[in-house]
A and B are shown apart, each in its own frame.
Chain A
Amino acid sequence: MVIFLILGYYHFLIFSRNIDLHILMKFRVFVLISFFLFGALSFSNAQSYQDPKQHVCLKCHSNQTYTFHNDVTNAEVKRLMNPYYILDTVAISSGVHKSFDCTDCHSAEYEVYPHQANLKLEPLSSCLDCHGGDESYAKYKFEEIQAEVEKSVHHKVYGESFSCSKCHNQHTYAATARNSDNLLEIVDYSNKMCLSCHNDMKKYKLVSGHDNPKLVEVHDWLPNQALHFKHVRCIECHTEVVDSLMVSHNIVGKDQAVKKCVECHSADSRLKASLYKYENLQKRSENGGLGNVLSNSSYVIGTHQSPFLKLLSIIIFLATLGGVIIHSIFRIFKK
């Protein structure tokens, strides 16, 4: 944008004023140099989310307020930024799309302010436009996910408008479940996706058309609610587990959600097919040392979920029972 301004000013100089050609030549060299310099700078700026003040979009869209020059009133104007259009630059720079610039997806015309009204009507790429049918993304199984999403309660309520980005913020999304070896971090990241709407009246209403149910009340029946919310993801109970997918995307409402304790609290816990299926977590448990001996396959509490302790308890019980029986026999026959 600055280049255009400089070039504009340059042409303005040529056509509007009679200026010494010598000065003009000097100015031309300056413009050329600044063009290359700025070109180089703008290239690095294009992807630099590290320094949002220098970024053509983020200098406004990473702040609560923005300032612009009103040409009509010829005054500097400071306004509040729409909170939904403020971007978290720290999250962007660690997200999966960090190597993209804003205008890779949004129209380059957004670089002009005020933004053209018709830009709002411009269709944006969906996730599958880039990720679908691409071999390099095959392991993420985007098509299969799409098929699952179409069965989900979200799709039933909101149809095609319930895009991936409703949960997976395209600006900041990080594949935490795949990469983190911290269970609590995985749970927290996943649950925040759900809560971004389910704990936000406006966003929830946008999709459902009615007020959001109070989560704490709805889950009143769940013992140790706070601990469950911290240690397992909403989707543990609110999805239909699909073995071929890392995260099941068929989100189900409360009618179909898991409500039986033993679905998780058992040796054959469904958590093994969901939250604990990640390779990084298996590695974590291998490093557990003593914990591994005790909790080999027991992610959910209780000695019976620890094969070693289960076996030991059966042996001790049978030995005691055997002792009692033998002693009784002696008492009967040795009287």
Chain B
Amino acid sequence: MGATEKIYFYPVWLRIWHGINAIGILLLIFSGISMQSSLDNSVIGFNLIINIHNYAGVIVTLNYLLFFIGNLVTKNGRYYFIKMKGFLKRPIKQAYYYAWGMFHGESYPFPLSEKRKFNPLQKYFYVIVMYLAVPGVIITGFALLFPELIIETVYGISGIFLTAIFHSVLGFFISIFLLIHLYVATIGKSPTENFKSIISGWHHV
């Protein structure tokens, strides 16, 4: 195992998905925060922000289908399977490495290979974000695009209000994930190594 060993982790379809998703999610976060805070100025008006959010939302949704179908029909999907064995122990071990081990010269607990693209903690986050939060935000987002379809009241609370709250809570969670995702991506062979990988497709092990 030399430093030059490379694994082709990120096929073209995945990199296209990731690139579109990255731009789309960034647009959604900024336009979302802007709408939440009711920012309105002469440069970017409220109406334009809404349009940006709507279009980006639709693009991210279509793009999600690429991710979803891609993972169904290619081997890439198996990287997201969670093993029941060591369900809590394994991600805790990884978290311990990040919090303590990596500062004390301990070796990487889950070295990446053809069989393992994500460490357990990373995998958990990806599964939660990509298979729970993003579908949730897509469903609530489309519900808000067609608000007449939403149930009027749920236990006396406006259905639209609940949907909007759920949508923005999930959106916020995804924003926090993005912050952590970007930071953890800097923990590689060098701070920029992982960013190069997602563009070239090759990961240096």
Contacts and interface: CB of A to CB of B under 8 A. Distances in A.
Interface of A: 223-224, 226-227, 260-262, 265-267, 287-291, 294-295, 298, 301-304, 306, 309, 313, 316-317, 320-321, 324, 327-328, 330-331, 334
Nearest to B176: A320
Nearest to B38: A266
Interface residues of B, number: 32
Interface in B139-172: 147-148, 155-158, 160-162, 164-165, 168-169, 172
B46 A261 contact: yes
Interface of B: 35-40, 46-47, 50, 98, 102-103, 147-148, 155-158, 160-162, 164-165, 168-169, 172, 175-176, 179-180, 183, 187
13 contacts: A224-B148, A260-B40, A262-B38, A289-B156, A291-B157, A295-B158, A301-B161, A304-B38, A309-B168, A309-B169, A317-B179, A320-B180, A324-B183
A287 B155 CA distance: 11
A233 B46 CA distance: 22
B165 A309 contact: yes
Contacts of A304: 36-38, 168
A303 B183 CA distance: 26
B92 to A, nearest CB: 17
A330 B156 CA distance: 50
Contact of B165 (A260, A294, A316, A324): A294
- The majority secondary structure among interface residues of chain A is helix
A287 B160 CA distance: 19
B172 A313 contact: yes
Nearest to B104: A334
B179 A291 contact: no
Contacts of B156: 287-289, 291
Contact of B180 (A267, A313, A324, A331): A324
A197 B37 CA distance: 38
B122 to A, nearest CB: 15
Given A260-B40, A324-B183, A294 B157 contact: yes
A91 B40 CA distance: 44
A302 B168 contact: yes
Given A226-B148, A260-B40, 8 more contacts: A227-B148, A260-B46, A261-B46, A262-B39, A301-B161, A301-B164, A302-B36, A317-B176
